[in-house]
Amino acid sequence: MSGGPESNKVVILGGGPGGYEAAHVAAQLGADVTIVDSDGIGGSAVLTDCVPSKTLIATAELMSEVAGAAELGVNFSDSEGDAATSLRVDLGRVNARVKRLAADQSGDIARRLDKDGVRVVQGRGRLDGPGRVVVGDDSYDADAVLIATGAAPRTLPTAQPDGERILTWEQVYDLTEVPTELIVVGSGVTGAEFASAYLALGVPVTLVSSRDRVLPGEDADASLVLEEVSKRRGMTVLSKSRMESVTRDGDVVTVTLTDGRSVQGSHCILALGSVPKTDDLGLEEAGVILKDGGFVNVDRVSRTSARGVYAAGDCTGVLMLASVAAMQGRIAMWHFLGDTVHPLDLKKVSSNVFTAPEIATVGWSQESVDAGEMQAESVMLPLSGNARAKMQGVRDGFVKLFCRPGTGIVVGGVVVGPRASELIHPVAIAVAESLTADQLAQTFTVYPSMSGSVAEAARRLHRF
């Protein structure tokens, strides 16, 4: 429980993973903890971004699996025994489930905070100097403040969401009927995930990408597989196509490109990146330096330039993931409250793109190896040769591993395939614990299993 009369006072702005995970740590270490949150405990991660999108994607995955059932010998028929003609998703029910699940998750987090003795204040907070937070007429003195206010979807003056047909990723869960033709603008992680999910839900999708390939920030071989699979399944991918504007006329949405071409559809999702919520928080007045784009500048133990003010999560722009936000928040509290702390190491972060197939990565990338930033040997093993993959009708995907030439220590990896988010874990352990490829290879895997390919890839890195 937090709080004795002598305890350190910690005030946290923002109840997302950056904020609530920090609160748990601070409470555990005996601090008196207050979280101020304006939009709901769990933050965007739980209420509008991560949890809702992955819940929608769970339905999309089921649709994909069912669509591939015939190959495994399963046919669907109606009550007369005639072949059923199509699968249909009830988007109203799917989105009701999404919202219910997000609200439940938010409730669970709030209950745990309450159990830990964390005070939750609902409202918009701002700093009044480095050691005080103001919420409406109330103020809270703090020995340390953590800024974890997150980020919001970026929009453009020429592409304004209307909440009905031109949508940010936060607004898609109000749809009750499937779009007849969806245009997704932006081929980063969020754009690629929504395009892939709606395609699986049976919606014709056009993905507008300003770059020459989708997921420009990910492993190039992985992007290639995703683009090939998406096109094969019917997605239209417009590469090197920069959006100029998005307009709506009745039921028709038009995306105009900078080269004069245009695409029409019934709905458009804007996935143009995020802007930090750092305006009007009293940050600069409190001595907190902001970087380009308004992100809070932090070091690897989450300190800002103002003494006693820490920051975590999307508002820092370090790596916009819930897992990283949570770790930055915990690190801030371990540091402030004098517990053992290891600075944030981005090379140990495993991340996943929840497309079909999924793309999971950890550690050093192919790009860094090619650029000579890290000397590494690599191997890339297609999943198509894996016995379990064959049984399950899986043809697309691969395991790629990087290891140091002399020692064989595993420094990175990429897995592309179904449930890559789970398969990356042994590679993440190897990277975190500096295991060698031989150690990874000598660990038993279940036969038959997809993880057998991780061990097999490691075996191929063996040197005499």
Strand order in 182-185's β-sheet? 166-168, 267-270, 182-185, 205-208, 236-238
Interface with ligand FAD includes 169 (CB under 6 A)?
Answer: yes
Which 331-360 positions form the footprint of ligand FAD (CB under 6 A)?
Answer: 354
Residues 6+ apart with CB under 8 A from 317: 151, 276, 291, 293, 295, 296
The 3-state DSSP class for residue 258 equals coil
Q: Which residue, 311 or 430, is less far from ligand FAD as judged by CB?
A: 311
Q: How far is CA 385 from CA 152, 392, 394, in A?
A: 43, 12, 10
Q: Which residue, 130 or 408, is less far from ligand FAD as judged by CB?
A: 130
Beta bridge partners of 310: 146, 303
Q: Which residue, 124 or 211, is less far from ligand FAD as judged by CB?
A: 124
Which 414-433 positions form the footprint of ligand FAD (CB under 6 A)?
Answer: none
Task: Provide, rounded to whole angstroms, the least separation between the CB of residue 388 and ligand FAD.
Answer: 25
Beta bridge partners of 152: 275
Q: How far is CA 320 from CA 22, 326, 372, 423, in A?
A: 17, 11, 26, 22
List 276, 313, 317, 452, residue binding ligand FAD (CB under 6 A): 313
What are the φ/ψ torsions at residue 12 (nearest 5 degrees)?
A: -115, 130
Q: Which residue, 126 or 388, is less far from ligand FAD as judged by CB?
A: 126
Tell me, what amino acid is at 91? L
Q: Which residue, 48 or 453, is less far from ligand FAD as judged by CB?
A: 48
List 296, 320, 399, 415, residue binding ligand FAD (CB under 6 A): 320
Q: Which residue, 36 or 110, is less far from ligand FAD as judged by CB?
A: 36
Q: Which residue, 25 or 322, is less far from ligand FAD as judged by CB?
A: 322
- For 157-161, the CB contacts below 8 A with 24+ separation are 158/244, 158/245, 158/246, 159/185, 159/243, 159/245, 159/246, 159/270, 159/272, 160/246, 161/270
CA 241-245-246 angle, 5° bins: 105
Interface with ligand FAD includes 219 (CB under 6 A)?
Answer: no
Instruction: Please report, for the chain, how many H helices and E strands are present, in that order.
Output: 13, 23
Beta bridge partners of 296: 290
Confirm if 43 and 315 have CB atoms less than 8 A apart.
Answer: no
Confirm if 383 and 389 have CB atoms less than 8 A apart.
Answer: yes
Which x/- pattern over 173-202 shows residues binding ligand FAD (rule: CB under 6 A)? -----------------x------------
How many Cα neighbours within 13 Å face the side chain of 90?
4
List 16, 161, 179, 412, residue binding ligand FAD (CB under 6 A): 16
Q: Which residue, 155 or 254, is less far from ligand FAD as judged by CB?
A: 155
List 17, 161, 397, 408, residue binding ligand FAD (CB under 6 A): 17
Interface with ligand FAD includes 50 (CB under 6 A)?
Answer: yes
Task: Provide, rounded to whole angstroms, the least separation between the CB of residue 364 and ligand FAD.
Answer: 20
**Measured between alpha carbons, how far is 22 from 217 in angstroms, rounded to an integer?**
29
CA 152-150-38 angle, 5° bins: 90
List 8, 34, 53, 105, residue binding ligand FAD (CB under 6 A): 53
Site size toward ligand FAD (CB under 6 A) is: 38
Q: Give kind and range of the element (H or E) at residue 45.
A: helix 43-47
**Does 161 sit behind a cis peptide bond, omega within 30 degrees of 0 on the bond before it?**
no
Confirm if 316 and 310 have CB atoms less than 8 A apart.
Answer: no
Closest CA to 53 of 273, 266, 349, 354: 354
Which x/- pattern over 105-144 shows residues binding ligand FAD (rule: CB under 6 A)? -------------------xxx------------------
Tell me, what amino acid is at 322? A
Task: Provide, rounded to whole angstroms, the least separation between the CB of residue 274 and ligand FAD.
Answer: 7
Interface with ligand FAD includes 206 (CB under 6 A)?
Answer: no
Interface with ligand FAD includes 277 (CB under 6 A)?
Answer: yes
**Measured between alpha carbons, how far is 283 from 315 in angstroms, rounded to an integer?**
12
Q: Which residue, 168 or 230, is less far from ligand FAD as judged by CB?
A: 168
Task: Provide, rounded to whole angstroms, the least separation between the CB of residue 23 and ligand FAD.
Answer: 11
Stretch that binds ligand FAD, among 41-49, 210-218, 409-417, 433-441 (CB under 6 A): 41-49
Stretch that binds ligand FAD, among 1-9, 94-102, 145-153, 440-448 (CB under 6 A): 145-153
Task: Provide, rounded to whole angstroms, the least separation between the CB of residue 122 and ligand FAD.
Answer: 9
List 28, 236, 323, 384, residue binding ligand FAD (CB under 6 A): 323
Q: Which residue, 39 or 377, is less far from ligand FAD as judged by CB?
A: 39
Residues near ligand FAD (CB under 6 A) are 13-19, 36-40, 43-45, 49-50, 53-54, 124-126, 148-150, 169, 190, 277, 281, 313-315, 320-323, 325, 354
